[in-house]
Amino acid sequence: MSQQGYVAAPPYSQAQAGMGGYSAGFGNPPPQSHYGAYGSPPQGYSAPPTGVLKPPASSSSGMPPPPVSSQYGANIQQNGAHHHSFPPPVASAPSMSPYGQPPQSAFYSMAQAPPPTQQLTNQMSAMNIGGYGKLDGQRPMQVPQSPSSSAAPQQYHTSPPPAMGHPPLSPPGQQLSSFGSPPPMATMGSVAAPPMGMSGPPGPGVHQPPLGPQGYPQQPGSPISGPYGAQMAGPQMAGPQSGAFQGGFPGGPAQMAGPPQKKLDPDSIPSTTQVIEDDQAKRGGQVYVTNIRGQVPPLVTTDFTVQDQGNASPRFMRCTTYSFPSTADLAKQCKVPLAAIIKPFATVPKNETPLYIVNHGETGPIRCNRCKAYMCPYMQFMDGGRRYQCGFCSCVNEVPVQYFQHLDHMGRRMDLYERPELSLGSYEFIATLDYCKNNKPPNPPAYIFMIDVSYNNIKSGLVKLICEELKTLLDRLPKEEGAETSPIKVGFVTYNKILHFYNVKSALAQPQMMVVSDVAEMFVPLLDGFLVNFQESRAVVNNLLDQIPDMFADTNESETVFAPVIQAGVEALKAAECSGKLFIFHSSIPTAEAPGKLKNRDDRKLVGTEKEKTLFQPLRGVYEQLTKDCVAQGCCVDLFLFPNQYVDIATVGDVPSHTGGSIYKYSNFQVEVNGQQFVSDLRRDVEKSIGFDAIMRVRTGTGFRATDFFGAVYMNNTTDVEMAAVDCDKAVTVEFKHDDTLSEESGAVMQCALLYTTIGGQRRLRIHNLSLNCSSQLSELYKSCETDALINFFAKSAYRAMLNQPLKTVREILVNQTAHMLACYRKHCASPSAASQLILPDAMKVFPVYMNSLLKTPTLVGSTELSTDDRAFHRLLVNAMGVEETQVLLYPRLIPLHTMDVSSDAIPAPVRCSEERLSESGIFLLENGLSMFLWLGQACPPDLIQNLFNVPSLGHLSSEGMSLPVLDNAHSRKIHSIISSISQQRATSMKLLIVKQKDRSEMLFRQHLVEDKGLHGGASYMDFLCYVHREIRQLLT
């Protein structure tokens, strides 16, 4: 791909990672205040402009109050000329502070008080985990501290770490005394993990194994305490390592035997639902203005409106923390990953402004000569406007003559508010031919539908369903704004062991089939007439879609090929010189003689062994080459799977998961059971907003850089993130590392630039800018953490690490890092308190419940009862997820419906995800973005059952295949409205599964109660918290 002009010059500032001791700007001119343009006095951005501060009249005159939508209104599509449409983003947030404000600003001082902490006291005598102080600072408020608690901290009893893949020892809510028994060795099996902190060499100065990019030791079996040893482990680490914890249960005999303890109150440990409710109450319904550097956005679960005033909306970018540590040493010390989760095509709600499009003309977008960063609010103009200093590399550039503009007395360009690229966090540039393949403008993309017509798919009625659906769906292909028809061309292929191509040229009376049986050397037998405009060829296409189910009605062919199907799609796009997407509807493991032929390698005996990872490693060779071909052509692969048995998802999902594609799975597909779910997914997938042939680069300010990328992407080198396509649901998680000291004054700036082709065939650059704070105080970092973003990062990095390391090692690292992050907070940020108190940073107080849930996901838990394909599928899904998706996946919503107010529009408030919250007389809805359940308690009121199911009692409902009828009463209407409003928020359609309490299918539901012990192993939240607390205490001693 020749995309000259886009690929940046060699990175500036090549200081090595870890050399945090160097002064700021090492190797570069000392960084200036890049935010000076906005004026350090608060009136820069926030105060209503007066006198000479006023931006040009044309824009100031159009300065309406929020909401945002009214400001920008209908002037969206114009290219570059925003002179009358671009009001100053000023008046709406008079109280907000400007950029670059010194730490003593309002924003800071408000937050200057010690961060509220959650304190959890484990009392030795009473063993009540006390309420965590919600309001106070460091005081152990509400904690009835018994005199003995600090006197006998060594008696602290901790649970074994069932998170490590062990079966639960006791059901939730039982007495802690059960922890006193030694673990049943029989249950350890080969999964048994050496306990955290045990397998490493003892003591200080432990050898640190070479770290992978995520901090995972490179060598399998490396001592897991290694990464932390030098930082936190004191000589005490040697204690528990002396073989006391056999079978993988840390705790040691001394700790495990103790007096009986009283029941813990589950209400006393930090609650995710409470955190979500509190944030909604505090920030819900408000306008979030992005004019403050390092500002922590509302939670993903909160409803808010974004007004872009110089930083990208959190819908596009979220970070694990909004205050980076200033040195590599600090970063290493706290072990909090520094990462951004970028969803470059995120859907913007209707009441927010779509991205402006900027055209810098024939010369293309203005960029820094040195680091190639694009013009953005972080560039500081000087010399009367003749030059500007890059906010990323500090290079001073000449302003091109055609871009010159005078500066006002504040040093800001007079046209600041007329140019999106000077005042907004996100916008698009029209790209010039330099950014196009072969310097030619791209053709509009094509969608190719490739249908497996083997026996199973015909018999299940799937082929007929697809063909019927396509007849209406093809009218709903994505269009350019305001266009009547879609420029996307369509093509059709059917296949089993051989491929059938169809000529659907509009001039034909009948479609023509061309068969390719030599699947070893795939070629496309026709060029003209294969990819057509649906509007023009409607009659022929519909004729074809009518015929396909009949043509194969009598097929006996059950063998399929797979790789040649993708190859055929790529070749077709190559021939048409366009990018595009393949929709492959496939049902079985491809065993027919052909490249990419697969065999069943689902060996569950490997679960829990060193070789378990091989189950998730895709077979290379043909598929690796296919991925490269697809990415080079801008060919995204979407895979709809309908398996009745193992299909090797790790391998067949490999190309989709590297081309920005999606994977859907409908096991044991039956039209009447999953048909609607599949059709909804297909519709949404075909219609969704998408960019093709994309390449993304994340540039950063001096002192740190992007080092690793996670997502449905392909990396050919260390910096360019390639995506054959990127749609509104795909997120890329980017990890950052220091290579120098960061300046607290200039903060940490980043710019994500995504070059892509629109559905209309226009080449564009989408730019997202974000500025974070930097601090030498770790308390700032902890205060600015975002738990939901952190867990997204941990999920993706763990799911990648498991390809190269035993799962138990991955799980141990996760637990270790959790303890380490929290111990560092305790050591450096919390005020002194008894060691028996668990003190959590406010912004991370529910991090442990998410982490424990991650450890219990089917992918990581390692149970022979779980299907390998399900685990591989889950792994690939999470890899492409954004923060919203991982949040609800790891902490599902459990909504009580029996108490709902049928007259209200609101969705009832969710309760904690635990069995304890269920009641026999209740009805609950549970959803996690992938599955949805309706749970019916054994004693739920008959009148409610009557209203919802139109039967007199629960006993009248059969346990199999229950569905929820639409009935004409308030309860039924309300529940359907809740379900539909939840469904609209999710990227995939969820099939509603109805389960009765104590039915067999209830297990499917219960595995989502993430605060309880896992059905396939894994600790309860309470046990995990106690375990982590113990680990923290070890790290601190």
Using CB under 5 A as the criterion, which residues of the chain lie in contact with Zn ion when the complex forms? 368, 370-371, 373, 390, 392-393, 395
Alpha helix segments (H runs only) across 615-742: 622-633, 649-652, 671-687
* Residue 309 neighbours by CB under 8 Å, 6+ apart: 45, 89, 93, 289, 290, 291, 423, 424, 425
Name the residue nearer to Zn ion (CB basis): 395 or 957: 395
Torsion 339-344-346-348 (CA) sign:
positive
Bridge partners (DSSP) listed for residue 935: 924, 995
Report residue 791 as tokens: 């867990």
* Residue 904 neighbours by CB under 8 Å, 6+ apart: none
How distant, in Å, are the alpha carbons of 61, 194, 358, 432, 683 from that of 421?
A: 20, 53, 8, 17, 35
Name the residue nearer to Zn ion (CB basis): 371 or 1019: 371
On whether the CB atoms of residues 918 and 911 are closer than 8 A, the answer is: no
Give the shortest CB-388-to-Zn ion separation in angstroms. Answer: 10
Give the shortest CB-928-to-Zn ion separation in angstroms. Answer: 43
Give the shortest CB-866-to-Zn ion separation in angstroms. Answer: 49
Of 932, 962, 960, 930, nearest in space to 945 by CA: 962
Give the shortest CB-380-to-Zn ion separation in angstroms. Answer: 11
Name the residue nearer to Zn ion (CB basis): 403 or 646: 403
Phi, psi (5° rounding) for residue 152?
-130, 55
Report residue 30 as tokens: 């000392």
Up-side HSE of residue 570: CA atoms within 13 Å toward CB? Answer: 27
* 942 preceded by a cis bond (ω within 30 of 0): no
Name the residue nearer to Zn ion (CB basis): 395 or 902: 395
Give the shortest CB-755-to-Zn ion separation in angstroms. Answer: 18
Cβ–Cβ contacts within 10 Å for residue 296, how many?
A: 18
d(CA 82, CA 105): 32
Name the residue nearer to Zn ion (CB basis): 370 or 497: 370
Torsion 885-887-890-894 (CA) sign:
negative
Give the shortest CB-367-to-Zn ion separation in angstroms. Answer: 8
d(CA 604, CA 381): 62
Name the residue nearer to Zn ion (CB basis): 371 or 861: 371
* Residue 9 neighbours by CB under 8 Å, 6+ apart: 370, 371, 372
Give the shortest CB-394-to-Zn ion separation in angstroms. Answer: 7
Name the residue nearer to Zn ion (CB basis): 368 or 431: 368
Phi, psi (5° rounding) for residue 713?
-125, 170
Name the residue nearer to Zn ion (CB basis): 770 or 839: 770
Give the shortest CB-341-to-Zn ion separation in angstroms. Answer: 24
Give the shortest CB-11-to-Zn ion separation in angstroms. Answer: 10
Q: How far is CA 707 from the centre of its chain?
A: 18
What b/e readout covers 537-552, taking b as 16+ CB neighbours within 10 angstroms?
A: bbebbbebbeebbeeb
d(CA 381, CA 399): 9
d(CA 970, CA 947): 8
d(CA 742, CA 142): 40
The three-point CA angle 488-490-495 to 5° equals 150
Phi, psi (5° rounding) for residue 281?
-65, -35
Give the shortest CB-395-to-Zn ion separation in angstroms. Answer: 5
Give the shortest CB-372-to-Zn ion separation in angstroms. Answer: 7
Report residue 350 as tokens: 């209707």
Residue reference for tokens 């590297």: 658
Name the residue nearer to Zn ion (CB basis): 390 or 504: 390
Give the shortest CB-806-to-Zn ion separation in angstroms. Answer: 43
Name the residue nearer to Zn ion (CB basis): 176 or 371: 371
Name the residue nearer to Zn ion (CB basis): 390 or 650: 390
d(CA 284, CA 784): 19
Bridge partners (DSSP) listed for residue 640: 585, 664
Name the residue nearer to Zn ion (CB basis): 371 or 470: 371
d(CA 496, CA 548): 13
Q: What is the 3-state secondary structure (H, E, C) of 755-779?
A: EEECCCCCEEEEEEEEEEEEECCHH
Name the residue nearer to Zn ion (CB basis): 73 or 400: 400
Give the shortest CB-368-to-Zn ion separation in angstroms. Answer: 3
d(CA 417, CA 399): 18
Name the residue nearer to Zn ion (CB basis): 206 or 371: 371
Helix 942-949 to helix 970-985 angle (10° resolution) is: 60
Name the residue nearer to Zn ion (CB basis): 393 or 462: 393
On whether the CB atoms of residues 121 and 142 are closer than 8 A, the answer is: no
Give the shortest CB-701-to-Zn ion separation in angstroms. Answer: 9
Q: Read out DSSP for 424-482?
A: -SEEEEE--GGGSGGGSPPPPPEEEEEEE-SHHHHHTTHHHHHHHHHHHHGGG----TT
Name the residue nearer to Zn ion (CB basis): 393 or 801: 393
Give the shortest CB-44-to-Zn ion separation in angstroms. Answer: 23
Give the shortest CB-389-to-Zn ion separation in angstroms. Answer: 9
Residue reference for tokens 């997502």: 711
Give the shortest CB-690-to-Zn ion separation in angstroms. Answer: 30
Name the residue nearer to Zn ion (CB basis): 395 or 606: 395
